[in-house]
Structure 1
Amino acid sequence: MKDRSHITLYSGGHKGAESEFGRLAEAWGIQEVNFSFEGHVTERSRGIRELDASELEKGNVSMEIVSARMGRKFTRGNKIRKVIQTIFHMVNNGYHVIAVGWIQPDDTVKGGTGWGVELARLFNRPVHVYDQDRKGWFAWENNTWVAQVPSIEKDTFAGTGTRNLTEDGKKALRDLFENAFGPA
């Protein structure tokens, strides 16, 4: 069993995959940091780190760039901008990005989760996505998605994903923790 006292999950604490990552981290005694901002409601309260305006600004990027990179329109609304900015902090702090969602035909991942995956790819970080339709794990390697089950091997990782977590998605995350750390 791996010593877990120095391992940290970086997430957002939202309903669905991020909350499940947090529950699992807590059950396995792993540190948890959930980035948020003033007025934002999260499901997880453990490890909340509310980013102030200057910290959010460090993750600022043009919404046109986000839209172009993701191949779809994102609104210019202030809340989505802040969510995008918090995702930067998750990925910037967590070495390995692990997500749950849906890989689309253009190789992006659906929704806001996709921005975390795009940042991981831009930062040349290891990234794995559990695709809930295909019921399997995929890694981004050599500019393509390949079937590959992740393992948590570094001291930091970012956990993100869909609000619409399926039972298969939950099981995939639980298996990830059990394979990495043994029983809770």
Structure 2
Amino acid sequence: MNPEECTLYHGGLKGAESLFGETAEKYGVKEVIFTFEGHRLNRDKNPVVLSDEELLRGDISMEIASRMMNRTYYETEKIRKVLQTIFHMVNKGHQIFVIGTILEDNSVKGGTGWAVELAKLFNRPLHVYDQNHRKWFTWENGTWQEDTPKITYDTFVGSGTRYLSDDGRAAIEQLFADSFQK
């Protein structure tokens, strides 16, 4: 893979997303951050501020989102906009990388789990670094399989927890090193 021909999509939040962006910049990967008016970013390199009309393209019933993720999301405007923004990231990026925690029901903890569920729904190559198990897993045939993924598509998403561990940080850095060896 030629890093200069690749684009990383993320949400610019602290933790995993900011480190994905910083690491992409080191390798010369283009970076696009999806956000919305009034949303505070930790990293704001190349932000795309989605209009209300654009956000609506990623709209989903909070009831459906809650059911898909086996948790309750209440009808708040900010959470809805965050989920709509995640839709745009996953819709644009072909391969999805997430740092987080895989739960017993095969979902991923927190808002990051929405990127995971959309990747499953869109049948995108999906990889999660589980910080508790300190390993990468790839979603294949309806189960998580231990793996050592590489970036193999020219558009990809980097998302994940705000609470990035040292192992999670190392996993992102190793992912880029393995994918873009010079």
Counterpart of 1:118 in structure 2 is 117
- Which residue identity does 1:85 align to in structure 2? Q
Q: TM-score, normalised by structure 1?
A: 0.97
Gaps of 5+ in 2: none
**1:8 lines up with 2:4 in the alignment:** no
Counterpart of 1:47 in structure 2 is 46
Cα RMSD between the aligned structures? 0.7
Counterpart of 1:158 in structure 2 is 157
1:54 Cα deviation after fit = 0.6
- Which residue identity does 2:23 align to in structure 1? L
3-state SS of 2:157 partner: strand
- Which residue identity does 1:87 align to in structure 2? I
Mapped to 1, the partners of 2:3 and 2:172 lie a distance apart of 17
Counterpart of 2:136 in structure 1 is 137
Map 1:1-184 to 2 at 5 A. 2-182=1-181
1:6 Cα deviation after fit = 1.5
3-state SS of 1:98 partner: strand
Mapped to 2, the partners of 1:24 and 1:113 lie a distance apart of 19
- Which residue identity does 1:171 align to in structure 2? A
Mapped to 2, the partners of 1:121 and 1:149 lie a distance apart of 19
1:45 Cα deviation after fit = 1.1
Mapped to 2, the partners of 1:117 and 1:40 lie a distance apart of 22
1:3 Cα deviation after fit = 2.2
Mapped to 2, the partners of 1:72 and 1:154 lie a distance apart of 31
Give the aligned length.
Answer: 182
Mapped to 1, the partners of 2:65 and 2:8 lie a distance apart of 24
Gaps of 5+ in 1: none
Matched-pair identity in %: 52
3-state SS of 1:163 partner: coil
- Which residue identity does 1:169 align to in structure 2? G
1:182 Cα deviation after fit = 2.2
1:121 Cα deviation after fit = 0.2
